[in-house]
Structure 1
């Protein structure tokens, strides 16, 4: 049996943020969510989150996650004190306890699987994750023999000059035999530079103790400030881009583009520089995105082109072209072959196949039939000051430049709207609608004095 405990009680004062450190965002997910995801493949029987600073907020923002048990650490007096809080909720538990840190978000699931296998095969009382760093400043040093058996861990502040020369560091990730750990947790003391209870001190009390050295030290990168958060973001973004390039996506300038974990791409997609993908976005085969695009929580079919545009909460079918400088807002649904051009905004509207909205238009709360051609500067006036109303334009209709359609309004099929018209009444199919002031010309008009 396996239980996972995530330490998430710290204040994170160096972040200089009103948000708890473990709730800081990283590539579309919080730090602690990433930590929890890393152990999902282990299928633990118990998942415990040790909370303290802004505990209620942490619980609230993680409310969408199931199977989490929250354990309060109050006050926060070190990692050993945090794990002591598990003595009651894990009373009678006889399996392994995997201890993770809520601010170490880059662990790969396969690394944790290797740690658990190493622990079980060695028969260790504790197995810890280690790494070798060119600059180990700030990390606890691990002292072990050639077989990987650990004799001691010394925190950086407690190291003497000779001990600080050791480059093998403690990653802060442990797998314990829980009954053995439970027996020694009450023995911890705060006789150290920080005056805290260190979980590392249990290693000297538990034998045998072994370590597993990770091949990629980036995995144990912690986040204590904004600089380290940005460094973790860079590592994660590089992983995501490398993954999708291996799956057949071309990034013309990879470092200039960012992705979320929820982004999905088909084959032969080309992503130009300065493109960003957020939330759960699906990009179909053969799309060309960018340069200069933001795609968020949207679904693009095959062969879609988007240039210098923003697409949020939209569904775009095969063969559509968006931009430049267009915005598709939530609820926009475009059928195959639509064209949305420069400085056009679409919101909460359905465009059937082959609709063209090429220039300087706002289409909000509207339904456009197939083949509709929207003239430059056409506006659906959907808001009366209290409520939103819908505009319906039938298949094959055309609006002239600078038309205003005041909703609620229904235009039939094959309607032609004269340029400059403001329409407030329904128009039957096959009609020409003109609603503009009569042009007056007064000759020999005296100019301004």
Structure 2
């Protein structure tokens, strides 16, 4: 059975009080609409149409690397109208189309699969995703017949006294037979107080045509839509709990899950320990046996086995096994740190490659450089990579010793097995086996303080 999906993502979200399209607000570091797209992709639904309207170009830009198509809803005239805008996408298609909302990021893969299988096995023309809630006030009620099929959806204000007792509510997410949906979309009317076309009316039309309509209920958290900053925070809390529990079930120790923030796409190996206050973002991979002490930020990076990180920032970089980073280190994008290395306190690495067993212990900046293995950097070393116009490269060979307060003015090369004397400013190539000294000779002027009258009398 062919399957495709439509995501409703054209709304403005007035209650969010924002200039950003509602579906682009992030939950656990990822835009809500991208959570929905990625969930569908993991269910082998590759043919996805995103209906956009408010902030259309921004939504396109944020989803462009996910290989989806777009339909434009120029005026937001209801959910039924949104599907009308997707007619070109549905044209000549057969099988099933699943409809989800771009502001409901908590839907699970297993629920998507369950919905489609239930729809298929029941030979339904439409299937509604529903939830059972304690208090259904304000929600449309799912009214079932004796065969347990959906008879109708009744809005709260239109419910009879008996219907008000029903606790099964409509999520706004559906599965449709494509041919039946296309055939009946044009029958929708906007003759209501809002002047809008409601997708729920399609259910009534299908029932009037003696079509089978089913419903399957799921945990209410999965169908939560986000319409305010408060609901955004609630969705964040629910998804963060899910993510952290998944990692703990897989053998990761999270000391305080309520204060640990891990993206949906992060992978973490067994026996890694994560302390509170860490932000692990994007498609980060942390392998086995690492220790991430409190208050680090790691984004889109690969952390190999048995790495220790303390109070540091690592962005789009690769850290080799048994390496230690921090405290207070800053590893900027496109950096590669070798194995058994040391990146210490107040060290900044920018777009550089650092070899195995190299120690950069404190107060050092290395930018646009290739550093070999077994090197040692003294405190206060600076790779001077910018000449005011261009960024230039420094190359440092294996087993080099760089003294304290050294400036390496790029472009420059320091070959293997060299020593740079403390306080030197290096502007020329240092050959292998050499000691480079580039500083003024010390001169002591005897009696200078007295002659200048700078003595301080002792009382």
Please classify the TM superposition score into its range, dividing by the shorter chain length. Answer: over 0.9
Partner of 2:215: 211
Stretches of structure 1 lacking an aligned partner (at least 5 in a row): none
Partner of 2:22: 21
Range with bigger deviation, 288-297 or 88-97: 88-97
Residues 111-155 of structure 1: CA deviation (Å, up to 9, x unaligned): 122212222222222210110123334422222246432222123
Partner of 1:198: 198
Q: Distance in 1 between matches of 2:97 and 2:58?
A: 26
Deviation of the 1:372 alpha carbon: 0.9
Deviation of the 1:73 alpha carbon: 1.9
Contact 2:293–2:309 (CA under 8 A) maintained in structure 1:
yes
Deviation of the 1:190 alpha carbon: 2.7
> TM-score of the superposition, structure 1-length normalised?
0.93
Range with bigger deviation, 339-348 or 32-41: 32-41
Q: Distance in 2 between matches of 1:192 and 1:424?
A: 78
In the superposition, relative to structure 1, how do residues 374 and 140 fare at CA in structure 2: closer, same or farther (>3 Å)?
A: same
Q: Distance in 1 between matches of 2:20 and 2:426?
A: 50
Q: Distance in 1 between matches of 2:292 and 2:100?
A: 38
Residues 115-154 of structure 1: pairs in structure 2 closer than 5 A: 115-145=115-145, 147-154=147-154
Partner of 1:183: 183
Stretches of structure 2 lacking an aligned partner (at least 5 in a row): none
Secondary structure at the residue paired with 2:48?
Answer: strand
Deviation of the 1:257 alpha carbon: 1.1
Range with bigger deviation, 159-168 or 315-324: 159-168
Q: Distance in 2 between matches of 1:358 and 1:325?
A: 11
Partner of 1:38: 39
Q: Distance in 2 between matches of 1:369 and 1:46?
A: 48
Partner of 2:95: 95
Deviation of the 1:218 alpha carbon: 0.6
In the superposition, relative to structure 1, how do residues 44 and 306 fare at CA in structure 2: closer, same or farther (>3 Å)?
A: closer
In the superposition, relative to structure 1, how do residues 90 and 407 fare at CA in structure 2: closer, same or farther (>3 Å)?
A: closer
Partner of 1:232: 235
Does structure 1 residue 112 correspond to structure 2 residue 112? yes
Residues 354-393 of structure 1: pairs in structure 2 closer than 5 A: 354-393=357-396
Deviation of the 1:65 alpha carbon: 2.3
Contact 2:331–2:348 (CA under 8 A) maintained in structure 1:
yes
Q: Distance in 1 between matches of 2:5 and 2:245?
A: 30
What is the number of equivalent residue pairs in this alignment?
Answer: 447
Deviation of the 1:161 alpha carbon: 6.8
In the superposition, relative to structure 1, how do residues 166 and 361 fare at CA in structure 2: closer, same or farther (>3 Å)?
A: same
Range with bigger deviation, 439-448 or 408-417: 439-448
Does structure 1 residue 290 correspond to structure 2 residue 286? no
